[in-house]
Amino acid sequence: MKLVTVCGPPSSGKTAVILKTLEAFADRGLKAGVVKFDCLSTEDDVLYEKAGIPVKKGLSGPLCPDHYFVSNVEEIVQWGRGKGFDLLVSESAGLCNRCSPHIKEVLAVCVVDNLSGVTTPKKIGPMLKMADIVVITKGDIVSQAEREVFASRVAAVNPKAAVLHVNGLTGQGAFELSSLFDDEEREVESLIGYQLRFTMPSALCSYCLGETRIGESYQMGNVRKMKID
């Protein structure tokens, strides 16, 4: 089975792009499934089901969805293999701009949208910097010039990535993205022994574990203080 990790800021168009791309993937007679990781709730699973795409959802609750992702991805891979998928796509929310679900030797996609502003590419961090493919959405609502400027900023941050423009509404560019998924030669039987491309932040303080009270005496574990002078 092929595996693709798709991440990007909230509302950048990940679900829309995956839906259109898997439609084109199905047209090739291939079978794909999706796993969606989020924090508190997601309606994406309903959208995938409506499109006839088998989906599993994982809600991380109080944990970072990306930490939760790594802890569960092997089980998800086995679920996908059991279902006989040719391709499994994971969608994750990328809430902190610091985590990235990308795994070495596994095709990594980052979705960003033209509306997010030209400084966004440099703010996003490892999920963009370490992606193999960067998909830029919502080109339909900005000018040609803004698309060019935005794409050049993406390229400056990640010069090695293939950059594709996909319209999440009309599906323009989705066939092309699906052909890149299809071209992916690496098959995954198990992720045991694979490595993340980038370490997750060590967020393990008392607040991660449910503390709500404010004050030094309640702060335990990995606590960092601002420098104020």
Partner 1 sequence: MINEIKNQTVGALLGTYPFAAVYFDGHHVDTKGRESVTVVDVFSDFVTAAGEDAVTTADELLEGLSEHVQQMLLFLADDLDTVRSLNLLPGTHKDGTPENFTNITINSGETICIVGPTGSGKSRLLADIEWVAQGDTPTGRTVLLNDQVPDRKWRFSPTHKLVAQLSQNMNFVMDLTVEEFLEMHAESRLADNVSDVVVRIIDQANALAGESFAPTTPITSLSGGQSRALMIADTAILSRSPIVLIDEIENAGIDRQKALELLLSEEKIVLMATHDPVLALMGGRRLIIANGGIEAVIETTEAERVILKELAVMDRRMTDLRNRLRRGERLE
Interacting residues with partner 1 (CB under 8 A): 27, 114-115, 117-118, 121-122, 125-126, 129, 139-146, 148-149, 151-160, 162-164, 170, 172-173, 175-176, 179, 198, 202
208 binds Zn ion per the rule CB under 5 A:
yes
Structure tokens at 178: 């699906």
In whole angstroms, give the CA distance from residue 59 to residue 16: 20
Distance CA 39, CA 63 (A): 7
Closest CA to 125 of 6, 4, 9: 9
Which position among 5, 12, 15, 116 is part of the footprint of Mg ion (CB under 5 A)? 15
Cβ atoms 22, 49 nearer than 8 A? no
Candidate list 14, 102, 129, 197; residue touching ligand GDP; CB under 6 A: 14
The reply on whether position 99 binds Zn ion by CB under 5 A is yes
Q: Give the per-residue contact string, 141-170, with ligand GDP (x = CB under 6 A; - = no).
A: x-------------------------xxx-
Least distance in Å: CB of 57 to partner 1? 29
Residue 219 and residue 206: Cα distance in Å, rounded? 6
| DSSP 8-state code for residue 132 | S
Select the binding partner of residue 207 from ligand GDP, Mg ion, Zn ion, none (C-beta < 5 to 8 A, by kind): Zn ion
Residue 97 within binding range of Zn ion, rule CB under 5 A: no
Q: Which two tokens stand for residue 151?
A: 């794409």
45 binds Mg ion, rule: CB under 5 A: no
Count of residues in contact with Zn ion, rule CB under 5 A: 8
Helix (H, G, I), strand (E, B) or coil at 129: helix
H or E element in which residue 80 lies: helix 65-82
Closest contact distance (angstroms) between CB of 77 and ligand GDP is 21
Q: Contact between 42 and ligand GDP (CB under 6 A)?
A: no
b/e burial code for range 141-160 (CB count within 10 A of at least 16 → b): eeeeeebeebbebbeebbee
The three-point CA angle 69-74-75 to 5° equals 95
Picked from ligand GDP, Zn ion, partner 1, none, the partner binding residue 66 (CB below 5 to 8 A depending on kind) is Zn ion
- Binding residues for Mg ion, rule: CB under 5 A, are 14-15, 44
